[in-house]
C-alpha cells in the first residue's frame, strides 16, 4: 500500500489539467492511474494492479486511489459516484457542493421555476437550490460569480455531503 492520499491525486489531476499532455499513465506499487483528455479512452491492459482508477479530467471528490466500483444492488443504486464519468470540463469551472446529506430541490416549491438554469448568470450570493433534511430546508448559494454551466443532480435526488451539484464558469 502506498501513502498516496486523495489530495495527492487531486493535485496530480490539477497539474494534468493545466498541462498540454493528452494522457497520463502512472504506476506506483499497488496503484495504477490512467488519465486521458480523450473521451472514452481506455487504459492499456492492467498489469496486475490492485486498484485502477480511470478518470477524466474533472477532479471529482469521489475520484480517489481506492475508489471502488459502485455496488451493483439495483434498489440501492442512484448514489453519488454511480454517475457516468463526466465529460471533459474546463479546469477553471467551479463546483457548488452539498453542505451535508439531504434531498436536492432545484425550485422553491413544486411546479415553480428553478432557482437557476444552465446559461444563467449568478452572483456569489445567488440561491441555487435547496437541501432538505427532515422537512428543514436550507438554501445553497453559488459561492462564486459566473455562469451556470451544468446541473449535475436531478430534482428530489438524495445528495451526499460534498457532492458536486452545479458547475459554474467564473466571471
Q: Does residue 100 touch other proteins according to CB under 8 A?
A: yes
- Quick one: cell of 150? 451544468
Query: Any contact of residue 43 with other proteins (CB under 8 A)?
Result: no
Indicate whether 103 belongs to the interface with other proteins (CB under 8 A).
yes
- Strand-pair category, 127-133 with 136-141: antiparallel
Q: Does 45 bind other proteins (CB under 8 A)?
A: no
Instruction: State the DSSP H helix or E strand holding residue 9, giving kind and residue range, or none if neither.
Output: helix 6-18
Q: Closest by alpha carbon to 35, among 61, 9, 1? A: 9
DSSP strand pairing (121-122 vs 94-97)? unpaired
CB 150 within 8 A of CB 166: yes
113 sits near other proteins (criterion: CB under 8 A): no
User: Of 16, 35, 102, 140, which one interacts with other proteins (CB under 8 A)?
Assistant: 102
Interface size with other proteins, residues (CB under 8 A):
25
Among 12, 24, 43, 79, binds other proteins (CB under 8 A): 79
- Grid cell, residue 130, equals 435547496
Kindly state whether residue 69 participates in binding other proteins, applying the rule CB under 8 A. Answer: no
In the chain, how long is the greatest CA-to-CA distance?
Answer: 53
Does 137 bind other proteins (CB under 8 A)? Our answer is: no
Residues 6+ apart with CB under 8 A from 26: 12, 32, 33, 34
Residue 162 found at the interface with other proteins (CB under 8 A): yes
Q: What are the residues facing 159 on neighbouring strands?
A: 102
Does position 101 interact with other proteins (CB under 8 A)? The reply is yes
Question: Does the footprint of other proteins cover residue 169 (CB under 8 A)?
Answer: no
Per CB under 8 A, 107 contacts other proteins: no
CB of 38 to other proteins, least distance (A): 29
Distance, CA of 56 to CA of 74 (rounded, Å)? 25
Question: Nearest approach, Cβ of 71 to other proteins (angstroms)?
Answer: 6
Q: Rule CB under 8 A: which residues touch other proteins? A: 1-3, 64, 66, 68, 71, 73, 75-76, 79-80, 100-103, 132-134, 136, 158, 160-163
Amino acid at each position: 500500500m502506498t501513502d498516496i492520499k486523495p489530495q495527492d491525486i487531486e493535485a496530480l489531476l490539477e497539474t494534468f489539467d493545466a498541462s498540454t499532455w493528452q494522457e497520463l499513465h502512472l504506476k506506483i506499487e499497488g496503484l495504477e492511474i490512467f488519465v486521458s483528455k480523450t473521451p472514452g479512452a481506455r487504459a492499456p491492459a492492467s498489469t496486475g494492479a490492485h486498484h485502477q482508477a480511470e478518470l477524466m479530467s474533472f477532479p471529482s471528490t469521489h475520484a480517489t486511489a481506492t475508489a471502488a466500483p459502485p455496488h451493483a444492488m439495483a434498489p440501492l443504486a442512484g448514489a453519488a459516484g454511480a454517475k457516468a464519468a463526466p465529460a471533459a470540463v474546463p479546469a477553471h469551472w467551479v463546483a457548488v457542493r452539498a453542505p451535508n446529506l439531504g434531498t436536492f430541490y432545484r425550485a422553491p416549491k413544486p411546479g415553480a421555476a428553478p432557482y437557476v438554469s444552465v446559461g444563467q448568470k449568478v452572483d456569489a450570493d445567488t440561491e441555487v437550490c435547496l437541501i432538505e433534511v427532515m422537512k428543514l430546508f436550507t438554501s445553497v448559494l453559488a459561492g462564486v460569480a459566473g455562469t451556470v454551466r451544468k446541473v449535475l443532480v436531478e430534482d428530489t435526488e438524495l445528495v451526499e455531503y460534498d457532492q458536486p451539484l452545479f458547475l459554474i464558469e467564473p466571471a
